[in-house]
Structure 1
Amino acid sequence: MIKKISITFGSEPILNKIKKANPDRELILYDALSNRNELMLLDASGKDSVFNSPVQYDVLSHSGTDDWRGFVSFITAQIDSDQQKVFDARVNRLMSNPLPDGMRSIYSLHTYKNINERVLLTTWNSPSQFELWKKANQSLMPAAFNDNPSFYSHESDYKFAR
């Protein structure tokens, strides 16, 4: 199992230069769905990052088959220790069952050196399959989380570029 995942952002020329300088890595380029000019480069090698300004994640658990050439979603939540127990239990239950239609893999992550920032990384065949799953699984982040002033949640979605 991969132990860490690194990402970085930048312009296409810069990210392609990084890819060319690291042919031993499978670095995957993505376009943001929300902003066509935002590009992300993902390194799922599990090795130390080759990026100058990486965003790094430690992998807590994983299920499914890795195929990074599709659609990826990052759901990030800043949660306290009690919320972590609820979140982790829900993610573990999801991972213990067959994955939903269209989901290739699921990762439970935390931001490097910040166990309170959890990330649910999922890979999909298509954005529409993700949207159907998300609508059917709104309880992943219980409404009670929103009542806590320290709760923060953010979603970022990307499609494979090349």
Structure 2
Amino acid sequence: MKQQIAITFGNEQILSTIRDKYPDRHLVIYQALNQQGKMMMLDYSGKESIFKSPVYYDILGHTGTDKWEGFISFSTLDLNFDQQKVFDARLNKLMSDGLPIGMHSIYSLNYHKDINQRVILGTWDSYSNFEIWKNSSHEFIPKEYRDSPSFYSHEAYYTPAEKKEAE
């Protein structure tokens, strides 16, 4: 199993230059769903990063068949030790029970060298499949954690940016 995923951010020109320089990496440029112009590139090769300013995520677990050319979701949670146990148990159950409709793969990650910051990375058919799952009764973190003023979470959603043909 691969041990890391690396991402970087930049404008379309910079990210396209990186992609063109490393065609063997199959790099995908993503557009943030809710922020016009915010671009991200994800390297899932497991090889040493080619990015000048990479953000690394250590892979704790993975199931499914990746589909990097579709919608991807990142859910970041800052968890203490006890919360991690609950999170891990719920995520492991999801991974062993089978993925929801429209989800191709799921990764359990932590921000590199910070086990408290956990990330769920999902590859999906579409945003609508993700929304159906997110709004279902499936809960990773108990309500009492989410309602705590010290609990931190963040979500980000990306779709592949359209490739522009050379003129």
TM bucket by the smaller chain?
over 0.9
Determine the structure 2 residue equivalent to 1:25.
25
Structure-2 residue corresponding to 1:118: 118
Which has the higher mean CA deviation after the structures are superposed, 120-129 or 22-31? 22-31
Deviation at 1:20, TM superposition (A): 1.5
Paired residues for 1:36-55 under 5 Å: 36-55=36-55
Match for residue 131 of structure 1?
A: 131
Moved more, 7-16 or 136-145: 136-145
Cα deviation, 1:63-110, whole Å, max 9, x if unaligned, reads: 100110100000000110100000000000000012111000000000
Q: Look up the match of 1:72.
A: 72
Deviation at 1:36, TM superposition (A): 2.0
Code of the residue aligned with 2:140 in structure 1: it is L
Q: Quick check: 1:59 aligned with 2:45? A: no
Moved over 3 A (4+): 147-150
Give the C-alpha shift of residue 23 in structure 1.
Answer: 2.0
* Secondary structure in 1 matching 2:128: helix
- Taking structure 1 as the reference length, the TM-score comes to 0.96
SS at match of 2:139: helix
Percent same amino acid at aligned positions?
Answer: 54
Q: Cα RMSD between the aligned structures?
A: 1.2
Q: What amino acid is aligned across from residue 13 of structure 1 in structure 2?
A: Q
Amino acid at match of 1:24: D
Q: Do residues 86 (structure 1) and 106 (structure 2) align?
A: no
Q: What number of residue pairs does the alignment pair up? A: 162
1:147: Cα distance to partner?
4.2
Residue of structure 2 in register with 1:152 after alignment: 152
Go from structure 1 to structure 2 and tell me whether the alpha carbon gap of 1:24 and 1:14 turns closer, same or farther (over 3 Å shift).
same
1:103 is matched with 103
Amino acid at match of 2:74: F
* 1: CA distance, partners of 2:68 / 2:36: 19
| Displacement after TM superposition at 1:29 (Å) | 0.7
With normalisation by structure 2, the TM-score equals 0.93
